[in-house]
Amino acid sequence: MASGSPKPVEILFKQVDGIDIYMDVYFSPTSSPENPAPILLWWHGGGLLQGTRKSVAPHYLSAPAKHNLTFISADYRLAPQFRFPAILSDCADAMKFLHTKEFQQTTEGRVDASRVILSGSSAGGWLSLLCASGIGFEAAGLQKPPTVLGSTSIYPITDLEDPFWNTPQRPVSYLDRIILKEEVQPFINPADPGSRLASSPMDNQRSMFYHYMLQEALLPDLLLSGTNIPPSAFSVAPFLKSSHKTIPPTYITHGDADTKVPVRQSRDVAEVLKELKADYVYEEIPGEDHRFDRLPECEMENMYEFINWVLRH
């Protein structure tokens, strides 16, 4: 976290399988019990294989003061030691926790849990879409999470059946070498007790896991092996198209030069949202690769304009 960044309140919201799962709460400086600030709840990326709630883009850190939002960054258990249903359950439990007396007491009544917008980056953007719409919860044997006002997804994964996740890339387009399996041991072993985590620093060896996954086309297996759930259960665009399911107001943005998650993952969802006449905004950024919003100069003005529009309606 950059020097001078706001300091969050760290809250333990779930204990499961001997693992503590936390969320960080960043308060709006003008919030009070008389004027509680709405919530922007965010999940990090990393293919659901790596990453941490601590890896937050600058625009999110400035959102409490600039946009009068309570920004919350929540962790979830990581695959393959935990499969997709467990990860979704952690996200739903984070959403449910916002409505508890414990959360209200810890946040001193300064947070308005009746006004929640979800957000996420990359795989976290996928989680925000799934949790806002309820897609995949029935297949995972889970109750749908609490209703939210909307969602904002930045360069999200949206469909495990895309050839991008199922075709080996040796090497991946942005690396000039093959990653050896030994480099991602023991993380790739679902039974390794030391790899059962709900947070993984961005600068440790596990940070190579995503690239290895792309190289070997392992994502569907890492997320769903042994669950008997088909990858299609979490495919956002096909599910929306076949079910005509309603979805809260949705903002999606993606760079058209993304090498980590293909831009068609977002285009496909935007096309279906258009067909369904849903309330949505799709913003495609020319020439930008993955993680473009992490640049200090990227303020994501259109996303926050969308959030403000949702909160006004």
Give the lowest-confidence range in 63-67, 112-116, 186-190, 200-204.
Answer: 200-204
Please give the structure tokens belonging to residue 126: 């996928």
- Alpha carbon 107 to chain centroid, angstroms: 23
38 pLDDT more than 60: yes
What rounded mean pLDDT belongs to the chain?
96
Whole-angstrom distance, CA of residue 150 vs CA of residue 115? 9
Whole-angstrom distance, CA of residue 289 vs CA of residue 287? 7
State residue 2's pLDDT score. 45
76-116 pLDDT, tens digit per residue, is: 999 999 999 999 999 999 999 999 999 999 999 999 999 99
For tokens 């023991």, the residue is 186
Region of residue 260 (phi > 0: left; psi between -120 and 50: alpha; otherwise: beta): alpha
Region of residue 134 (phi > 0: left; psi between -120 and 50: alpha; otherwise: beta): left
- pTM above the 0.85 mark? yes
In sequence order, which residues have a C-beta less than 8 Å from that of residue 185 and are 6 or more positions away? none
For tokens 């962790």, the residue is 75
Q: Alpha-carbon torsion 217, 177, 290, 204, what sign?
A: positive
The domain made up of 9-164+217-312 has a fold known as Rossmann fold (3.40.50)
In which order are the strands placed within the sheet that holds 150-154?
9-16, 19-26, 70-74, 37-43, 111-121, 150-154, 250-255, 280-285
State residue 244's pLDDT score. 76
State residue 123's pLDDT score. 98
What pLDDT band is residue 202 in, cutting at 50, 70 and 90?
Answer: confident
3 pLDDT more than 80: no
